Structure formats: structure tokens, C-alpha cells
Amino acid sequence: MKGSDLFVKCLENEGVEYIFGVPGEETIDLTDSLLRSRIKFIPTRHEQSAAFMADVYGRITHRPGVCLATLGPGATNLITGVADAQLDRAPLVAITGQSALEKTHKESHQYIDIVTAFKQFTTWNSKVMKPDFIPEIVHKAFEIAMDRPGATHIELPEDVAKVETTKEPISKKTYPHISLLDERELKKAADMIKESSMPIILAGNGIFREEASTELRILVEFTGVPVVTTFMGKGAVAADDEHYLGSMGIKDHDHIMCGFEMADLVICIGYDYVEYSPKFWNPEKSKKIIHIHTDHPEIDESYMPDILLIGSIKQALFSLRQQCDFKMEMPPRFSKVRSRMKAEIEDYRDDLSFPMKPQKIIYDVRESIDRGDLLISDVGAHKLWVGRLFPAYEPNTVFISNGLATMGFALPGAIAASLIKPEKKVVVIAGDGGFLMNLQDLETAVRLECNFVVIIFNDSKYGLIEWHEKKTFNETIGIDFTNPDFVMLAQSFGANGVKIERAEELKPKLAEALNAGGVWLLDVPVDYSENIKLTDKLKNNFCEI
């Protein structure tokens, strides 16, 4: 068989279901081989969208999503989505074509050194120099993407794809994940929590990668220790759990930081620095820290743990609970922090002003979907409102581009979510700026008969940049633009479009769209004067509780 046939057999051996991508001249042998494969190739309208789809596939399934592009501009178009997966630790394998090997040592049409370029955005990558190397390279790419969650990359030159080979895929073996946690360190951690006057748990994205939410919830219920999540950790503990204080992620001195100012011990579980810098919650470098993660921590002067529990997060939480022989009462000051965060969305439940307040839109969305349904947020001012206020009840149900914070993430992400979780309702919250950055794949969504609703926060400007400019300079520049008619735009792609003209319309129209199925765009004018109002509100000293 030719090299591309072996490559596809190796992908099948790794359990690949979908490949998202744009075909090209240098990848035609690979796509030809896919014709005889059980893997479904999903053609997208832009390579960046393909990478975002693979990114979200990895977040949902905890298995590598796969994206494909040709050489040159096709490959460079993948980079943003690949980098997004890398920083948010979503397992992803990127495959790119390349010119024949005889062209790679000299100036050649469309040739650039993609392997060197991708080294900056991946944990590991390699060029296939001979077809006999394919089984080891493919297997290694998938193993590393899983073992050190993030992106890997394989370049397959067009001539190597054509060469005959007798090699076969590597037989996969499953090895038990054994984590030998030090019982003395577990006992020290339990004693430190017991002796602390105000401990707090910081739950991050790693909990979902390890599928350790159940163990975290049991530990919290057993010990009574309150929990704060990062934006990406939303749902690790249910928002209606009495121990949940809220989610943190904005740089302003938010209510949630009052809890951290009072805490003398922070138990960091599956927390990655890229989610929210420790300098914001430990500026004085005075807090004791317990680090529970699969990895050793980065070196940071604001994050110097007193105890490290490295290995399986699931096992660490289970074993730690067995060492804990106490249950603390929620300090009244922590309860007030929880009440303040909860009130911020509840206070707007009956607000019928128009354009709509972001808090009201988020409240109506939450009321319109079930606890286990999926929300995908794009990047913009709305992301901060979603991150702060949207109540998540189940693990891995809110997806946010956080590390790279990439506009244009949500529409492709919703396509992947709809394919993988067809039984779930899927809602996208996007700004008018971010939505238009990958608009072209609305066609992909309709072609694939996806089911999701996109709610567009429409303010005809880059609202987040306006927010920052006003905070910093009290004036703005370069943030205004005009928008198309989103209803007609949706219809031109074969989707459904609705213009919301009164606040009372959003909830029933959203319910109608979710029940009808198909792809829907709801154009919702938003009142982003709430952004600066929040900034002014948070300037006050909220920690005088």
C-alpha cells in the first residue's frame, strides 16, 4: 500500500472518528485514502475553523481532535486554532501536506518551513521522511497529545504519501495509570487544611481532563471547604452547591477576590497558570498553597506550593478525602461573597430594558437550557459576563477560549459539539465582531445539519476593546464598525435568523429555536454601558465584609 493508505490506517488505529479540514493539491493522496476509510472527513470553509473544531472535539471527548490542511497558507491558517488548543491543553493532532522532499532545500512555490513554524505552537511535531516511519510518528503524536494534553503536528510530504510500504500500524497497548501518592504528603495536606482558618479550593480545567469532578464534589461535601473555579473550571462544582463561591477570571478586583483575600490556604486542583495568573490572587505571596495536578507547577514567585500532590487528580482527591477527619462550617464572610456573585445575575431577571443588559441575556439563556446542555462562548466583552455569571451545573458543559482568547472560536466549536453531542442543546454566545471572523463556516453547519443557536451580542463595535480603552484613557479609537443584516445573512446560508426587538422576545424565541432544531442566529442588541458600570462598582472596597 502507499504511504497515505498506511497513514490513514494508523489514524483508524488511534480511534479517529473525524478529520476537519480543507483539502489541497499536496494532500490529495491522503484524502483519496480517506475514501476507503471509516473516518469521516469534514470539509470546512477555512483551516482556522477546522482547527477550532478539532480543539473542541478534544475538550469534549478528552481524545485528540484531528485537523488537516495543505502546505503554505493552508498550514499557516491552522496555527491560531492549534495554538488555542495548546494553551488550553486540549488534545489535538494537526496534519499538514508539504512539497516533495526534493523541493524543500531550495526556494519553491508555496514552500515554507512549516515544521519549524509549528514548533512554537505544539508540544511535539515531526516531518515524515519515509513511509516506513509513519506508524511510529502517528502513534507518538497521539500519545503525546494525550499524555501532555495539547497540540502535536505531523507533516506529510506529497511524494512520501505516494511511496509504497509494507509497514503496518503499531499494536496499541493499554497501560494502567498508577499514581503512587506519598501517604505522608497526603496526611500533611489534610492536616494543613484542618488547621487553616479559611481554606479555599481553586478548581481549574485539569479536573475535566482527568474526569475528576465527582471526586472533587465528594471531597467538598465531606470537608465543607468552599470552591472557586476558573472560567474554564466552571461546572466542576455545581453553581447551586452551597460551597460554590463563583468563578474568577477578570483582572478587576472582583467580588470573588474578596474570598481569596480572606483565605490563608489555597488548594489548587487541576489549575493551570494560563487560566488566571497567580499574581492576581496571591499578590503578597503570603498564602500557603497545596498543588494537586498531573504536572509539577511552573516557577512563579506568586505560586510556590507548600505541598505537591503530583499524579492522578482523581486518585489524589479520593485519597485526600480519606485522610480528612473534619468538616468545616462555611465562614459567614465567604457566604456573603457567594451571595454577592449570585445576586448579580438574579437582580436582572425581570429587567426589560432594551437594548438588553448582558446580565439579562445570560439569565434568559440559563433558564432556557437544561443542566447538562452545552454553552460555547466566543471571545469579547460577553465572555467576561459569561465567565463571571453564567451558572454551570455539570462538568465540561461550558467551553471558552481562555489561554489564547481567540475571537472566532465559538461557531466552529458549536459545529463540533453538535456532531459529538447531538442529544444536547447547544447555545453559542458571540459578539458581532467575533462571529464575523469565521462566518463562512455557517455553511458547514447547515450542510452537516447541525442543531444549535447563536446569540449575537450586537453593539456594532469591538466592545471589549472599548471597555479597556475607557478604563485606561476615558476615550476610544478604532472600535466602531457596521454590521450586515444578520437575519438575511443567516437565511442566505440556509439557516434561520431572528431579530430581537424587545427584551420579552428573547426567551420565547430561544425556546422556539432550540425546539425546532437546525441552525439559528438570534440578533440581540446589547447595552454594553454595563461594562463600565461594573468597573466603577468594583473600584469600591468590596472586601470590607
144-170 pLDDT, tens per residue?
A: 999 999 999 999 999 999 999 999 999
Task: Report pLDDT for 345.
Answer: 84
CATH topology of domain 3-162: Rossmann fold (3.40.50)
Q: What is the mean pLDDT of the chain?
A: 93
The torsion region of residue 514 among left (phi > 0), alpha (psi -120 to 50) and beta comes to: alpha
Task: Report pLDDT for 249.
Answer: 81
Q: 465: which 3 cell numbers?
A: 476593546
Task: Report pLDDT for 112.
Answer: 85
324-361 pLDDT, tens per residue?
A: 999 999 888 888 888 888 888 889 999 999 999 999 99
Taking each helix axis as running N to C, give the angle between helix 332-346 and helix 358-368, from 0 to 180 degrees, rounded to the nearest 10: 90
Query: Span 435-441, mean pLDDT?
Result: 97
Q: How many CA atoms lie within 13 A of 168 on its CB side?
A: 2
Band (pLDDT 50/70/90 cuts) for residue 110 is low
* Cell 437575519 found at: 487
Residue 496 identity: N
Checking if the pLDDT of 254 tops 80, the result is no
Lowest mean pLDDT among 160-164, 210-214, 539-543: 539-543
Homologous superfamily of 183-337 in CATH? TPP-binding domain (3.40.50.1220)
Strand partners, 456: 430, 523
Query: Span 368-394, mean pLDDT?
Result: 96
CB of 439 within 8 A of CB of 484? Answer: no
Band (pLDDT 50/70/90 cuts) for residue 401 is very high
Fold matches, 3-162 and 347-537: yes
* Cell 500533611 found at: 188
CB of 162 within 8 A of CB of 91? Answer: no
Checking if the pLDDT of 273 tops 80, the result is yes
CB of 60 within 8 A of CB of 72? Answer: no
314-325 pLDDT, tens per residue?
A: 999 999 999 999
The conformation of residue 246, written as its DSSP 8-state character, comes to E
Checking if the pLDDT of 191 tops 60, the result is yes
What whole-number percentage of the chain has pLDDT above 90?
82
372-397 burial: b if 16+ Cβ within 10 Å, else e: ebbbbbbbbbbbbbbbbbbbbbbbbb
CB of 337 within 8 A of CB of 254? Answer: no
489-531 pLDDT, tens per residue?
A: 999 999 999 999 999 999 999 999 999 999 999 999 999 998 8
Query: Span 181-191, mean pLDDT?
Result: 92
Burial (CB count <10 Å: 0-12, 13-18, 19+), residue 418: buried
Checking if the pLDDT of 235 tops 90, the result is yes
Domain ranges for the chain: 3-162, 183-337, 347-537
Checking if the pLDDT of 199 tops 70, the result is yes
Residue 194 identity: K
Task: Report pLDDT for 412.
Answer: 98
CATH topology of domain 347-537: Rossmann fold (3.40.50)
